[in-house]
Amino acid sequence: MELQGDNLAVVRLGRMAYGPALDAQRRAVERVRRGREDGRHVEYLLLVEHDPPVITLGRSGKDEHLLATPERLAALGIEYYESSRGGDVTYHGPGQLVAYPVLDLNRHGRDVHRYLRDVEQTVLGLLGGLGLDGRRDERYTGVWVGNDKVCAIGVAITRWVSYHGLALNVSTDLDYFGLIVPCGIRERGVTSLARLLGRDVPLAETADALVGEFVRVFGFDGATELAPDDL
| Chain segment 81-122, per-residue pLDDT in tens | 999 999 889 999 999 999 999 999 999 999 999 999 999 999
Q: Which parts of the chain sit beneath pLDDT 70?
A: 1-5
Cβ-based burial of 38 (10 A; exposed 0-12, middle 13-18, buried ≥19): exposed
**Taken in order 86, 87, 90, 94, is the CA torsion positive or negative?**
negative
Active site residue ranges:
183
Give the per-residue pLDDT at 5: 54
Give the per-residue pLDDT at 1: 44
What is the pTM (predicted TM-score) of this model? 0.95
The SS3 call for residue 108 is coil
